[in-house]
């Protein structure tokens, strides 16, 4: 009997009525002969509410001991969900049992609020499945080597589900969510955006890291590493739709070599408004300068994304990079306090009102001129490119935030993504 993992997000678990609906859907799969493991999130809004309570008592505190308690508190959201779902499944006439992360156990490291899964012991779950039960496991949480409860970071239930699917070698992991799949771009920005029937794992990883928030990025990394067949689909279809139809809906995240259909050159346009640009001007152009600027930034645990260094004039150059907007002020202060005096650079300036727009597609590997087409499209719209970065399967540009929607729409159209999906080959 094939094992299937279902994951349901907070909206899908948002009320007892929604939970009953989830139970009916799971029961349908179980009756069709699948072994079922279900990984739900906390009811929508619950994690925020719980973390908010903690924050009321200790605003601004960031200590490890505080984070330990945050995980203790946040993990209860999922504990309630699994219990409710197991009861709803029992009410449907199924045998069902729920487990928290520590009961399975899902073993993680000790990085509270952002722990990583290290091992899942599936013996207990397998025994239940063998006895005909549906097993409901909390998303988002685990247990560290000292027995402390940990959580995996916001949105972490996706990663829990994929990790369970990987550990148990599930036939497929289905992520039920409030959108019906992965789109060529955000439909709120481009109404012509299309749902992709399939996307390669590499493209999905780029799309997720570039700001398309359908899945927690770590879950996509996990799926790639352990080759978990993954599907994103809507939890809002009627629960009693035909199972075969449901099983083929949404977006399948595939592995490149499995693909036999002709690939579009560009599969999607991603954008990200979470970054800010920082520039150090008048930097003496000598070996080691990039390290002297970025070393202290890395030491302060600030992630750097796009980086450019200009050609030098009279031995001096400008050096720009982007950081998360939340780190913007801290980065400027750090550079002014330590990097300017240490390097003899002239000035630190910055711009938090930027955005990064990216074209993504594995077809870019084998097609030349894709980036230049992107630059042409932007220039025709009169949009100035401030920074560029590329990888094998994406090209990103940093532009003024106010042109974001214009850029995304123009690129979506220019790369043929507005067009209706081609008919699948017979
Ligand atoms: N409940 C957790 C959160 O809101 C985990 C999840 O929903 O994936 O971040
Ligand atoms: Mg989520």
Report the CATH number at residue 163: 3.40.1160.10
pLDDT of residue 259: 55
Q: Is the CB of 358 under 6 A from ligand 1?
A: no
Secondary structure of 2-26 as H, E, C letters: CEEEEEECCCCCCCHHHHHHHHHHH
The answer to whether residue 261 sits within a structural domain is no
Does one domain contain both 82 and 218? yes
One domain, residues 341 and 222: no
Question: Which secondary structure element, helix H or strand E, spans residue 105, and what is its range?
Answer: none
Q: Is residue 262 part of a domain?
A: no
Q: Alpha-carbon distance 210 to 190, whole Å?
A: 17
Distance CA 22, CA 426 (A): 34
Residue 199 DSSP code: E
Contact 116/152 with Cβ under 8 angstroms? Answer: yes
Interatomic CA distance for residues 43 and 81, integer angstroms: 7
What distance lies between CA 372 and its chain's CA centroid? 28
Structural domain includes residue 172: yes
Instruction: Verify that 170 and 318 share a domain, yes or no.
Output: no
Q: Is the minimum distance from the CB of 139 to ligand 1 under 6 angstroms?
A: yes
Q: What is the pLDDT of residue 363?
A: 87
Out of 256, 281, 296, pick the residue that ends a domain: 256
313 token code pair: 């004039």
- Do 80 and 154 lie in a common domain? yes
- Full residue range of the structural domain in which residue 342 is found: 268-414
Which residue shows structure tokens 């106010």? 402
| 233 and 288 share one domain | no
Q: How many domains does the chain have?
A: 2
Q: How much distance in Å is there from the Cα of 234 to the middle of ligand 1?
A: 17
| Residue-level pLDDT at 366 | 85
The confidence score (pLDDT) of residue 423 equals: 64
Owner of token pair 């699917």: 165
Q: Given this model, what pLDDT does residue 262 score?
A: 56
Q: Is the CB of 140 under 6 A from ligand 1?
A: yes
State which of 230, 256, 282 marks the end of a domain: 256
* Cα of 216 from ligand 2 centre, angstroms: 7
Tell me the CATH number at 279: 3.30.2130.10
Looking at the fold, whether 246 and 384 belong to one and the same domain comes out as no
- Whether residues 309 and 248 share a domain: the answer is no
Cα 162 to Cα 223: distance, rounded to the nearest angstrom: 6
With a 6 A CB cut-off, is 113 part of the ligand 1 pocket? no
Assess whether 187 and 104 both reside in one domain. yes
Same-domain check for residues 229 and 275: no
Whether 181 and 293 share a structural domain:
no
Contact partners, residue 241, CB within 8 Å, separation at least 6: none
Which of 256, 289, 316 terminates a domain? The answer is 256
Q: Is residue 423 part of a domain?
A: no
pLDDT tens-digit series, residues 1-40: 899 999 999 999 999 999 999 999 999 999 999 999 999 9
Question: Residues in the chain with pLDDT < 70?
Answer: 256-263, 419, 421-426
Ligand 1 atom closest to the CA of 41, numbered from 1: 7
Residues 63, 7, single domain; the answer is yes
């Amino acid at each position: 009997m094939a094992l299937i993992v279902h994951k349901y997000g907070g909206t899908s678990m948002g009320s007892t009525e929604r939970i009953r609906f989830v139970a009916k859907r799971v029961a349908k799969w179980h009756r069709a002969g699948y072994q079922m493991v279900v990984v739900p999130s906390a009811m929508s809004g619950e994690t925020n509410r719980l973390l908010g309570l903690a924050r009321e008592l200790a605003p601004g505190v960031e200590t490890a001991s505080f984070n330990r308690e945050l995980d203790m508190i946040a993990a209860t959201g999922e504990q309630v969900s699994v219990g409710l779902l197991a009861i709803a499944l029992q009410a449907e006439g199924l045998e069902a049992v729920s487990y928290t992360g520590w009961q399975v156990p899902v073993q993680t490291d000790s990085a509270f609020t952002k722990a990583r899964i290290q091992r899942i012991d599936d013996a207990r779950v397998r025994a239940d499945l063998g006895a005909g039960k549906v097993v409901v496991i909390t998303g988002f949480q685990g247990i560290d080597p000292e027995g402390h409860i940990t959580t995996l970071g916001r949105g972490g239930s996706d990663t829990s589900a994929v990790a369970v699917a990987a550990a148990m070698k599930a036939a497929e992991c289905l992520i039920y969510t409030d959108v019906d799949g992965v789109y060529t771009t955000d439909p709120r920005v481009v109404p012509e955006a299309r749902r992709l029937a399939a996307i390669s794992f590499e493209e999905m990883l780029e799309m997720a890291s570039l700001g398309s928030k359908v899945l927690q990025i770590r879950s996509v990394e996990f799926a790639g590493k352990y080759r978990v067949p993954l599907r994103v689909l809507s939890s809002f279809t009627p629960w009693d739709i035909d199972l075969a139809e449901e099983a083929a809906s949404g977006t399948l995240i595939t592995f490149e070599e499995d693909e036999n259909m002709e690939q579009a050159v560009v599969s999607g346009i991603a954008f990200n408004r979470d970054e800010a640009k920082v520039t150090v001007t008048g930097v003496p152009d000598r070996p080691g300068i990039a390290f002297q600027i970025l070393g202290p930034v890395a030491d302060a645990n600030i992630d750097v994304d796009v980086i450019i260094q200009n050609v030098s004039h009279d031995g001096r150059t400008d050096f720009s990079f982007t950081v998360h907007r939340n780190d913007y002020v801290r980065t400027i202060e750090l550079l002014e306090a330590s990097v300017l005096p240490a390097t003899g650079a002239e000035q630190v300036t910055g711009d938090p009102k930027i955005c990064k727009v990216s074209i993504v597609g594995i077809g870019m590997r084998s097609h030349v001129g894709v980036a230049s087409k992107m630059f042409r499209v932007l220039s025709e719209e009169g949009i100035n490119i401030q920074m560029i970065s590329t990888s094998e399967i994406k090209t990103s540009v940093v532009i003024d935030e106010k042109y974001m929607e214009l850029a995304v729409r123009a690129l979506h159209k220019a790369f043929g993504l507005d067009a209706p999906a081609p008919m699948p080959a017979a």
